[in-house]
Amino acid sequence: MGEVKEKKSRRLQIRWRWTLLVGFAVAMTVVVLMLVILNVERDAWLENQEKQAEVSVNRLAEALKLPLLSGSAAETAAIVGSFQRTENAVLAVYVKFAHDEHGQVFGEANEDRGWLEAQTYAPMVVRLDSQHLWFAKRIQYASTSVGNIAVRYSQSAWEALSQRILHQMLLAAIVVVLLSSLLIYWIAGQISRPMEALADAASRVAAGDYQVQLNVKGNDEVSDAMHQFNQMVTELAQKEKMRDTFGKYLNPKLVSQVFENGAAKMDNHRQIVTVIFADMVGFTSFSESSTPEYVVDVLNKHFEVFHRIIDYFGGHVDKYIGDAVMAVFNHPKENEEHLVYAVMAALAMAKACEQLGVLRQNGEKISFRVGLNCGDAIVGSIGANERLEYTVIGDTVNVASRMCGLGEGGEVVLSYGTFEELDSRFEFETLGMKKVKGVKDLLECGRVMVEDEEMRQRIDAAVALAFDLTLPVEIRARIGG
């Protein structure tokens, strides 16, 4: 359970998943839009820059026609200098006389001179293929080429414009992402809240709580799931109630298989088991001198304690026969030490009966005889098609019943052959050789007692647990006193 809570605390809730997903999607959308807008704005800016460059380069070309034709370098330099001063965006100007092999660069672009000299110049203004903004033209006088010019313009205006666009887009992106995230978180919370309630309810049902019911609201897939969940829990509660009810009357193995597998498949076989019989001493006189309600109440109180003790030691109550109870060990729950546990259960039953201390009308305590036997028995479904009982039968069961009749109230009787299967923690007090009905040879029978202190404590614990769980407050108080 602690591991489940730890996993639950570490998991990322649906609302946060949706918030992160939508936030990421919105951010990516804004980035794409930003790139598209920047690209469109740059194209528009370049188009405007080309128009301005065409005018200014043509004006410079007209001014340089005569100086280039006459070969006056000084006049050319003066005109270029004046052009650079009036055109703030101009970074450099390249001028090449037609009769010279090399041109001259005015400004901060001497590294581009070799590249400029290798370019092809047209009679109209064109942009050169470069990462920089170079606009060039071949200058002609009449039909004669007198030189080439190229003007490099600054991109600082575009950088400033792009920075403003980026800042505005980032601010808009932050606002959009925050608002969309808050909205999605709220919407996802409205969706995930019933899912979280459904998951929590499912974990409670898995832990055995069938009283869980969800508050269904809305008319969508989630509300349908919650409605179906409520129906499922109701059916599980009914099924568990039926299981508990049937478990009071039928073999637990039958009940478990029917409710878990939908059907019971009981095979008939032989198995080593230990059988306990316990019946009330003097039941006939007690039932004749008491009211039916009191007789049933007394039997139920004793059988409730016996059932708890038998279950504690790993056995199960096979049936109740009037004033007697029959318990089986090593079936259906198998246990290699079933005989030891059966003996402890029998001794605990005798002690519990003594502590319960229910009195007859003559003041005597009601007591039970207990007998047990270990051996091979037939396990199978006995009865008619309309009513079957999955039980154990055979000489082992019969001998256990006969052992019960040999003892006195509060004693546990078994045969010496069964006692020999026990260890030194137990003691055998013989009752002599007895003729047991259904058994050909005489059997040595005797009372079994426990010698080991640790085992005594386990028996006392089983008795105390049975009383604490089943008996009314006044009985527990009387025992405690």
Residue 225 inside a domain? The answer is no
One domain, residues 313 and 448: yes
Which phi and psi (to 5°) does residue 342 adopt? -65, -40
Q: Facing residues of 433 across strands?
A: 444
- Inside any domain, residue 175: no
Q: Mean pLDDT throughout 258-262?
A: 53
Residues 139 and 278 placed together within one structural domain of the fold = no
Q: Are residue 285 and residue 426 in the same domain, yes or no?
A: yes
> pTM for the full model?
0.51
Are both 274 and 405 inside the same structural domain?
A: yes
In a domain, 328, yes or no: yes
Co-location of 333 and 463 in the same domain: yes
Query: Residue 132: inside a domain, yes or no?
Result: yes
Determine, yes or no, domain membership for 461.
yes
The total domain count for the chain is 2
- When pLDDT is averaged across residues 448-468 and rounded to a whole number, the result is 88
CATH code of the domain covering residue 448: 3.30.70.1230
Q: Tens digit of pLDDT for each residue in 271-309?
A: 999 999 999 998 988 888 888 898 999 999 899 999 999
Q: Is residue 222 part of a domain?
A: no
User: Are residues 281 and 135 both part of a single domain?
Assistant: no
Q: How many CB atoms lie within 10 A of CB 368?
A: 27
Is residue 280 within 8 Å of residue 356, measured between CB atoms?
no
Could you give the C-alpha distances from 202 to 6, 246, 446, 452, in angstroms and in order?
17, 26, 55, 47
Predicted pLDDT of residue 480: 43
127: in domain: yes
For residue 140, what are its two tokens? 């002609």
Q: Pick left, alpha or beta for residue 194 (phi over 0 → left; psi -120 to 50 → alpha; otherwise beta).
A: alpha
Helix (H, G, I), strand (E, B) or coil at 263: coil
- Domain end (from 159, 189, 223): 159
> Of 136, 41, 149, nearest to 97 (Cα)?
149
Range of the structural domain that residue 466 is part of: 267-480
The CATH number of residue 151's host domain is: 3.30.450.20
Asked whether residue 51 is assigned to any structural domain, the reply reads yes
What is the phi/psi pair of residue 260, to 5°? -95, -35
Asked if residue 287 and residue 155 are part of one domain, the reply reads: no
- Whether the per-residue pLDDT at 252 is higher than 70: the answer is no
Residue 146 and residue 272 in one domain: no
Q: Are residues 150 and 272 in the same domain?
A: no
**Cα dihedral 287→289→292→297 (10° resolution):** -70
Q: Which of 114, 129, 159 is the last residue of a domain?
A: 159
Question: Do 271 and 147 have their domain in common?
Answer: no
- CA pair distance 238, 230, nearest whole angstrom: 12
pLDDT exceeds cutoff 60 at 253: no
Q: What is the structure's pLDDT at 325?
A: 93
Last residue of a domain, one of 108, 125, 159: 159
pLDDT at residue 248, rounded to an integer: 52
